[in-house]
């Protein structure tokens, strides 16, 4: 999973958000890779918590920003996109609870979710608004 990448979505501020989210994901993966062979120590759990919290918080800020822009321009696939965001937030919170209660096992589920979030949501769904916003002159 070292070759994660995010596609260009045509809106500069969202590309920046995506890069920042990708950074958190890479940090989480880098740290959690240590626990393939052993359990995490308490201070390491704290580090995982802290990265995950920042990822969670920034994801919510980012989703809100996308949704506001979509509403402002009457994006035709708004409902579908809102549903995707809501589902992702639900999963994110479930995983965050697992980490907070130190039950994330080997983190395979968390890592799979983070990769899916990036690869599928950004690269399949966010890219769909690219042409739309470009046509509206949003950069
Ligand atoms: Fe996005
Ligand atoms: Fe999105």
Distance from residue 43's CA to the centre of ligand 1 (Å): 31
Q: Which residue has better confidence, 104 or 57?
A: 57
14 Cα–ligand 1 center, Å: 6
Of residues 116 and 9, more confidently modeled: 9
- Where helices occur in the chain by DSSP H, the ranges are 12-32, 42-72, 78-100, 108-116, 128-135
pTM: 0.92
Residue 38 has a pLDDT of 85
Give the C-alpha separation, 84 to 28, whole Å. Answer: 22
Residue pLDDT, tens place only, 61-102: 999 999 999 999 999 999 999 999 999 999 999 999 988 898
**Contact indicator for 4, 34 with CB cutoff of 8 Å:** no
| Per-residue pLDDT, 54 | 95
Q: Which ligand is nearest to the CA of 86?
A: 2
Q: Is 90 exceeded by the pLDDT of residue 15? A: yes
**19-57 confidence digits (pLDDT tens):** 999 999 999 989 988 888 888 899 999 999 999 999 999
**pLDDT of 1 higher than 60:** no
Ligand nearest to the CA of 85: 2
The architecture in CATH of the region 12-135 reads Up-down Bundle (1.20)
- Domain spans of the chain? 12-135
């Amino acid at each position: 999973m070292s070759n994660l990448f995010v596609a260009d979505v045509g809106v500069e501020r969202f590309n920046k958000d995506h890069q920042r989210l990708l950074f958190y994901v890479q940090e989480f993966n880098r740290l959690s890779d240590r626990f393939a062979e052993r359990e995490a120590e308490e201070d390491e759990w704290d580090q995982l918590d802290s990265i995950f919290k920042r990822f969670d918080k920034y994801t919510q800020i980012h989703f809100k920003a996308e949704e506001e822009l979509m509403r402002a321009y009457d994006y035709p696939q708004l409902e579908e996109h809102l549903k995707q965001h809501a589902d992702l937030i639900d999963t994110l919170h479930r995983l965050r609870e697992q980490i907070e209660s130190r039950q994330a096992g080997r983190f395979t589920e968390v890592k799979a979710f983070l990769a899916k979030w990036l690869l599928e949501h950004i690269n399949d769904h966010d890219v769909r608004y690219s042409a739309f916003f470009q046509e509206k002159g949003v950069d």
